Amino acid sequence: MSKLNKILIIIGGIVLIFAIVVIFWPKKEIIIEKKVIKTIPASVVVIPTQDKTPIYSTTGAKLTILPDDQYKLMTLIYTLRQSCPINNEYFSIIYDYKFDNFVVTIKPENMETFLQWKKDTGYNEIMDKYWVIKND
Amino acid sequence: MANDIEVRRRVDQITWNSSFDEINQLIKYLDANGFTVDDFPKLREIVVYVYEGGGRNGENPGMEDDIAKFLGKTASKEIKNKLTKRKLDALVEEFLEADIKRKSEIADEIQEIMDNFKSKYKLYNEVQQFIFKQREIREKLDKELSDDVLDGEFEQQVVAEMDLYQKSIDISIPTSIEDFAEEMALLGADEEDKRYIKELVMKVVNGEKIPKGVNEELIRLETEIFVKKNKIQVEQIKIDNLNKKFELLIENTPDGKKDLIIQYRDAISKLNSANIPNLSDASNYAESALHDQIPSPGKRKQLFENVKILIQTVYTKPKDFNAIVGASKNLVSSGFDMSLLPNISEVRSFQELMSVVNSDQTLVLGLQKVAYLKIQSVQKIGQFVSKFPGGSKLVGSVSEMIGGTAIKEFLTASMTVIAEQGSVKGTLAILNGIVAGSTATAEAGGSASLLAALAPLAEVPVIGWVVLALAVVVIIGGWLIDKAIKFAEKVGKWMYDNMGIDLLAVKNFVADKLNLGNFVGWAAQITFNGVVSIFGTALSLGIGMMVALMPLLIGVMFIGGFLYGAFFNNAMISSLVPPPPMAVGGTCEPKGGAEESGTINCNQDAPKNETGINKDVFADTATRWRPSGTNYAKECFDDTVNRALCAKVNPQFALWVWLHESGASNYGLDNVEDFGIHGNQSVPAKNYDLQIRAFLNLDPASKCIKDSKILESSEPNKYWLALATNFLTGGCDPEKGILQSDGSMMTGKRYLKEELEPQWGWIKTGSLPANIHVPKGGSQCDGSKTDRPDNEYTRPDGVVMVCDGPVDENGNFIGSAGGGAFDPTSPPLVGEIVEGECSVSKSVVLTKQCGQAWSNKGLPGGSGTICSAGCGPSSVSSIVRTKNGSYTPDTIIFEAGSPYDSMDGGGSSLGQAQESLTKHGYTAGNLGICSQKDIANWICAGKAVIILADSYTGNGGNYIGHILPVVAVSGGKLITKDPYYSNTTPFVTGSGIVAGQIKELRQCLTIDLKSD
């Protein structure tokens, strides 16, 4: 074995040991403090199938078949509108018939609870333009 | 079995984009429920389209088989033949590629197809084409294949088919009705079938109704084809039949009036023998076009007869027509009871025509004369001009105005006009249209169509000579154009060949490179040359070309201007008559279709009256009196009593006669006459309505009470003896015998003693009263609206009439004429304010779809009217009219860019309303579901809400889809401005369902009433 080879073996061994040390060196546990979101009981709104059966009319009425996404949106809005006014300890919602939007009165610290509720119910699919947020 | 609404709902689901599977499913569904595709014209079109197109998406899972089965049932010959033709073509195609064994199978299949048609000549064309193709195949095979490939079996098959072909061409087309009937009768399996087929043929020939059925339909189609080819003979047969219908009447008429009746009959024959154009195709076209607009087949038939006799009128010499009118007047002025005339369509139409004449004889005779001369002049000019080369092409559309392709539009539009305006006003309007080219009723859809149909004809009387001149100009002009172009081409070619200059480069580039054709190419060349000339570049070349083409330019401008002025500019020709009044409203007809004999037509909802006669006892008596068959004693009892009281006739007498004569309309008995009215052809048997009407007009005793034979009789009860004698015999001799159906003789005296007196107590105990008269009683004698929706009323005789729009209790249309075309300067309208807590009603004008000037306008899609299907645009109009009063529903539909531009009788959606309102500057909200609470809140927020709802049509629980605006909240209720129903409180409140109230909300559309 030549001198050069020996040197290389030693260097390789050192590098290997260094690598093993780095890999298996005990790590400091990182503790992430989970933020607790207060939630309110909610269930997902069930969207009934759109009734596409043509209607029989003798005065000239036809049913407009809405695109599926439009139908889903309108049904969500209708369902929430029928639930209004909503009042709980975190926020309140009313429907403004003049501007056709939901007015949410809420404190900033409860915003996440509201968003979580929207997500849990499926109302998060109602676009932002239909919501007006007011600070309580 | 599904109900009609469900069936209709399923049918409406099929669209032009529906798949074969969907169509097949529907066909099976219809079949299972006793319907055929022919019952739904639009569906039929779709089926034909899908079938002929081979499918939109290339899918074809067993479709042809189902269609074929269906077509076998509906017996649509046209489609059936196409199907057969396609099959034959397919078989021949397959034959080319098939091996010998398959060839034999194909031959068998073809034979089978042809065997399915017992009458070979029906397949003449198909057979002929097949044989021709087979000859080609044979020749090809002879050339390409060795002799041993064609085995003996195949050879025999070919020979057999050649024989078949020969036989098919040997079949002679029958030339007489009788021969044709005999030919058709061969289809029958036995003698009875054959007799039945002959009867059917003759009925079709006479234009009579035939029973529904596959075979009947086939026979009808075949007969119509024959009739079309043998028009003169068929017309003669009709005249003979007409004469036969008068025979009985003439025999029983005193000599003094006999001649007048014969003259009257001959007058009708004369009109019917006028040499008018063939209306078969036009009739079918009109039948299809007006199917939705005029749902009753009986009504359509009558309208067709009205127009047909009008066409016969304008094809009759004025001198003859004057004589015809004279014959009618002579009979009327003789005091003859016109109700005794045969109740046939020719007579009815003639009487209606005479009503038109009587409305203003001088005017009508004048119009007839001018119309006749006009049509004759058109034909003569046409014939003359046709002799010039190209002339026939020029005058074709004019000379065939009444008698060519345009007759379809003429007939359809004329039927619509008469439906809209009634026979008198409508006929005058059409005559006016023929004479002056103006119907002067532009608001009415039918009139507008008529005007369009008559447009070419309108120019002819004034510029008849112009037509001739025009022909010459066009012929010479055409020659000039041709020569000029050829000359220019020669010049261009010479310059290109000798000087290398391509004068026609532009033309060649546009025509050849851009592939736009020579005409466009020449136009481009001329334009280019003009520009070149103007700017002075290549002046000599440009001028050279312009000189060559100048005659062409001048010719084109001159002739084009002339043509435009003559045919498209509707010259203002002074009208000979003042315009008829603007049409408002529409027509009414008996609910459930035209009145027909054989089905009970009493008012089963007639008011009840207390007379002491027990309905159940009466019904039981009727059943025991005539045990076989089924009577209508219970169903029509109240109607009989009420009508009798209204007519001041003792109801017990009416009930007795009804019971005695027909067992209370027991239609199980042959030729039973409900109230014994006999020998009057206007009052057929098995027709309760017509029978009781005639009966209640009788006062038999009064005719004989002073007769010496009655006075001298030993019978003490002279009144009832007179009544019994006259009612039984029509005369006043109580001893005169009448032969009864059982062979016995009955006299008036015996009739009283053996039948009337002993049976009187069957109805109610007691003896005969002094006479049959009682004080007027009953209710709804003058018609009624009770429990009827806006567009229905109950006639005084109890018949429920359904109308095109809202009517009062006497059938008068409610509503005033509205605006016409859009007027941008028209002021806004103010809505009627509904008191309430929240209201936007001042911003919504009540706009009715029926009973208005626009109501009967046809829709752009070709079927339906605003009245029948315009709830959507009427709702939009009700909002937009507050901005501009002229935005009536017709304007909303027909304005440029309207979302209703292809709307038809199927109606429209809220999506279209949304689009239309947006177009007019309104902010329409999203379309979606909503609640009553939502609607109320929106209204209180200043919005109107147009809703799509299931609306009740009456208290029976039936409902339809309907579009209407909601405008106010008052007393906790929503208030509407319904375009159709008069009801304004749409939700059922507990006091019973009213027509127009809402069963279910389907969709809502909000409208912010502040428009841009």
Write out B456-497 in H/E/C secondary structure: HHHHCCCCHHHHHHHHHHHHHHHHHHHHHHHHHHHHHHHHHH
Cβ–Cβ of B927/A66 closer than 8 Å? yes
Of all residues in chain A, the one with the smallest CA distance to B953 is: A58
**Is the pLDDT at B119 greater than 70, yes or no?**
no
* pLDDT confidence tier of residue B444, bands split at 50, 70 and 90: very low
**Phi, psi torsion values for B189, nearest 5 degrees:** -80, -35
Of all residues in chain A, the one with the smallest CA distance to B980 is: A59
Give chain B positions within 8 Å (CB) of A63. 909, 948, 961, 1002-1003
Pick from B460-469, B621-630, B824-833, B953-962 the range whose average pLDDT is largest.
B621-630
C-alpha to C-alpha distance for B215 and B442, rounded to whole angstroms: 44
Query: Nearest C-alpha of chain B: how many angstroms from A51?
Result: 10
Evaluate whether B434 touches B456 at the Cβ level (below 8 Å): no
Residues B839-865: what's their mean pLDDT? 85
pLDDT at res. B879? 93
**Is the pLDDT at B875 greater than 90, yes or no?**
yes
Least confident range of B32-46, B69-83, B925-939 = B69-83
pLDDT at res. B556? 46
Among B834, B790, B813, smallest CA distance to B979 is for B790
pLDDT at res. B947? 94
Q: Which residue has the tokens 């529903």?
A: B889
A 98-127 residues inside an 8 A Cβ radius of B = 98, 100
Residues B765-794: what's their mean pLDDT? 75
Give chain A positions within 8 Å (CB) of B868. 58-60
C-alpha to C-alpha distance for B866 and B868, rounded to whole angstroms: 6
Q: Which residue has the tokens 């006739």?
A: B649
Give chain B positions within 8 Å (CB) of A70. 926
Residues B420-449: what's their mean pLDDT? 62
* Alpha-carbon torsion angle B828, B834, B840, B845, nearest 10: -30
Query: Nearest C-alpha of chain B: how many angstroms from A109?
Result: 32
Least confident range of B59-68, B136-145, B203-212 = B59-68
Among B542, B539, B518, smallest CA distance to B528 is for B542
Query: Nearest C-alpha of chain A: how many angstroms from B998?
Result: 13
pLDDT at res. B567? 36
pLDDT at res. B664? 92
**Phi, psi torsion values for B330, nearest 5 degrees:** -60, -40
Among B905, B824, B897, smallest CA distance to B871 is for B905
Of B13, B931, B943, the CB nearest to A82: B931
C-alpha to C-alpha distance for B459 and B466, rounded to whole angstroms: 9
Which of A50, A52, A56 is best to mutate for the B interface (most B CBs within 10 A)? A56
Query: Nearest C-alpha of chain A: how many angstroms from B413?
Result: 22
Least confident range of A92-96, B277-281, B689-693 = B277-281
How many Å separate Cα B571 from the centre of its chain?
Answer: 31
pLDDT tens digits along B555-597: 444 444 444 333 333 322 222 222 222 233 345 566 654 444 5
* pLDDT confidence tier of residue B445, bands split at 50, 70 and 90: very low
* Alpha-carbon torsion angle B389, B393, B398, B404, nearest 10: 130
Among B501, B480, B553, smallest CA distance to B522 is for B553
State chain B's mean pLDDT as an integer: 70
Pick from B135-139, B181-185, B648-652, B942-946 the range whose average pLDDT is largest.
B942-946
Residues B501-510: what's their mean pLDDT? 60
Alpha helix segments (H runs only) across B252-360:
255-272, 280-289, 297-314, 318-333, 345-359
**Is the pLDDT at B600 greater than 60, yes or no?**
yes
Give chain B positions within 8 Å (CB) of A54. 9, 12-13
pLDDT tens digits along B16-29: 666 667 777 787 78
pLDDT at res. B315? 85
Q: Which residue has the tokens 């009208």?
A: B575
pLDDT tens digits along B830-845: 665 554 578 888 889 8
Evaluate whether B796 touches B783 at the Cβ level (below 8 Å): yes
Cβ–Cβ of A58/B953 closer than 8 Å? yes
pLDDT at res. B466? 42
Which of B871, B929, B983 is best to mutate for the A interface (most A CBs within 10 A)? B929
Output B517 or B992, whichever has higher pLDDT.
Answer: B992
Distances (CA, A) of B123 to B85, B167, B169, B853: 9, 12, 10, 51
Distances (CA, A) of A80 to A75, B556, B606, B880, B997: 8, 69, 51, 32, 27
**Is the pLDDT at B218 greater than 70, yes or no?**
no
Distances (CA, A) of A32 to A35, A36, A113: 9, 12, 21
pLDDT at res. B633? 92
pLDDT at res. B655? 92
Evaluate whether B689 touches B595 at the Cβ level (below 8 Å): yes
A56 interfaces chain B, CB cutoff of 8 Å? yes
pLDDT at res. B67? 47
Any idea what DSSP says for residue B573? P
**Is the pLDDT at A56 greater than 50, yes or no?**
yes
CA torsion sign for B960, B966, B970, B972 is positive
Residues B890-899: what's their mean pLDDT? 89
* Alpha-carbon torsion angle B658, B661, B666, B672, nearest 10: -130
* pLDDT confidence tier of residue B125, bands split at 50, 70 and 90: very low
**Is the pLDDT at B431 greater than 60, yes or no?**
yes
Output B284 or B544, whichever has higher pLDDT.
Answer: B284
Among B817, B847, B816, B820, smallest CA distance to B831 is for B847
**Is the pLDDT at B368 greater than 90, yes or no?**
no
- Both tokens of B260, joined, read 């007048």
Q: Which residue has the tokens 């005033």?
A: B816
pLDDT tens digits along B644-685: 888 888 999 999 999 888 999 988 887 788 998 876 656 778
pLDDT at res. B436? 62
pLDDT at res. A96? 92
Percent of chain B past pLDDT 70, that is, above it, reads 58
Output B143 or B463, whichever has higher pLDDT.
Answer: B143
Pick from B60-74, B287-301, B858-872 the range whose average pLDDT is largest.
B858-872
**Phi, psi torsion values for A131, nearest 5 degrees:** -115, 140
A49 interfaces chain B, CB cutoff of 8 Å? no
B157: number of Cβ within 10 Å:
19
pLDDT tens digits along B950-979: 888 776 677 888 999 999 888 778 888 899
pLDDT at res. B774? 84
Output B124 or A130, whichever has higher pLDDT.
Answer: A130
* pLDDT confidence tier of residue B129, bands split at 50, 70 and 90: low
pLDDT at res. B876? 94
Percent of chain B past pLDDT 90, that is, above it, reads 6
B930: number of Cβ within 10 Å:
24
* pLDDT confidence tier of residue A94, bands split at 50, 70 and 90: very high
Of A53, A57, A74, the CB nearest to B907: A57
pLDDT at res. B483? 59
Cβ–Cβ of A59/B907 closer than 8 Å? yes
Alpha helix segments (H runs only) across chain A:
3-24, 68-83, 111-121
pLDDT at res. A74? 92
Does the N-terminal peptide bond of residue B986 adopt cis geometry, omega within 30 degrees of 0? no
Residues B185-212: what's their mean pLDDT? 74
